[in-house]
Chains A and B, each alone.
Chain A
Amino acid sequence: METQAEMTAILATDGALDRAINERIDVLLEKRLEAKLAEIKAAKTPSMTIIATKGTLDWAYPPFILASTAAALGWDVSIFFTFYGLELLKKDLRKLKVSPLGNPAMPMKMPMGPRWFKSIRWNIPNAVQSLIPAYEAFATKMMKRTIKKTGVAEIGDLRSLCIEAGVNLIACQMTVDLFGYKHQEFIPEIKEFCGAATFLPMAKDADVSLFI
């Protein structure tokens, strides 16, 4: 049987040992954790989710440019098209228009003619813009011409590049019902028609999540 003094000595040694072990574990754990986290980060494929809500020719660009570029960088990309964004998934993209009306940031310049003419910024008041027949169609035509001239990709091409690169195109079913669309109006490459509950878990795990 151990004496009281021997018991105290053993306990004291145990305490010191525990402390030493704990300190050592802390040091090792920190080192290993850092290495492990770096390893996990390096092995993880970056991902991006985008919510596309706009359906005009100008706003069609950001989601498709970012998605196709991210895919080229090797990222996993999903785009959730909702409300007017659904226009970007229609088979016929020719209906996409741009409206300078009520958009003071849009430079209205002519894509043709001599240089001095092209450099004029046409400041047409909203009241006048709204009275000109087919003004939107005209502005859209001008923008399409500028797009072609400056070597900017056409929306249809960018969308095809996204599809080719494996970007997940997801359509909001609620909007389809709300606007009375038919599934046949959309391109067959749409991965699924679903709702917010399907999209949110994807966005939760994504490294980049954007609302456009």
Chain B
Amino acid sequence: MEVSKVNFDKELDARGLSCPLPILKTKKALNDMASGQVLKVTATDKGSIKDMQAFASQTGNPLLSSVEENQTYIFFLQRK
């Protein structure tokens, strides 16, 4: 899926944060969203690629897309 094609309802800037902050902030952001809404997360933590996948599968919030752009990682998560 191309980044530009994903519509999102909320954005979270987790750049510059280390493990486990991107995950914790993602969880918090999702808590305030309605079911079906999409959250865009931007992170620079290299571990976040794997961690975000694990977070999505553990919590059941689908990870719609995960892309790397110049050492920045962009994730689109849908609130279950």
Which residues of A pack against B, CB within 8 Å?
65, 68-69, 72-74, 150-153, 161, 165
- Mask, B42-64, CB within 8 Å of A = 1, is 00110000000001001100000
Q: Which residues of B contact A161 (CB under 8 A)?
A: 24
A151 & B59 in contact (Cβ 8 Å cutoff): no
Segment of B1-9, B11-19, B32-40, B70-78 in the binding face? B11-19
Task: Kindly state the interface size class of chain B when it binds its partner.
Answer: 10 to 19
> 30 pairs across A/B with beta carbons < 8 Å?
A65-B19, A68-B20, A68-B24, A69-B20, A69-B23, A69-B24, A72-B20, A72-B23, A72-B24, A72-B26, A72-B27, A72-B55, A72-B59, A73-B55, A73-B58, A73-B59, A74-B58, A74-B59, A150-B18, A151-B16, A151-B17, A151-B18, A151-B21, A151-B44, A151-B45, A153-B17, A153-B18, A161-B24, A165-B24, A165-B27
Give the residue name and chain of the A residue nearest to B22 (CB): A151
CA A72 to CA B52, docked complex, whole Å:
11
10 smallest beta-carbon distances between A and B, as pairs? A72-B27, A69-B20, A73-B58, A152-B18, A151-B18, A151-B16, A151-B17, A72-B24, A153-B21, A65-B20
B32 → A minimal CB distance (Å):
13
Binding site for A on B (CB under 8 A): 16-21, 23-24, 26-27, 44-45, 55, 58-59
Complex Cα spacing A135 to B42, Å: 39
Nearest Cβ distance between residue A177 and chain B, in whole angstroms?
34
User: Residue on B with the closest CB to A153?
Assistant: B21
Residues of A with C-beta under 8 A to B16: 151
Q: Which residue of A lies closest to B45 (CB)?
A: A151
Min CB gap A65→B, angstroms? 5
Q: Which residue of A lies closest to B58 (CB)?
A: A73
User: How far, in Å, is B26 (CB) from chain A's closest CB?
Assistant: 8
Distance (whole angstroms) from the CB of B29 to the closest CB of chain A: 11
Highest count of chain A CB atoms <10 Å: which of B26, B27, B59:
B27
Q: CB-CB < 8 A to B59: which residues of A?
A: 72-74
Give the chain B neighbours of A165 by CB distance below 8 A: 24, 27
Give bound CA distance, A73 to B26, whole Å.
11
B25 to chain A, nearest CB (A): 9
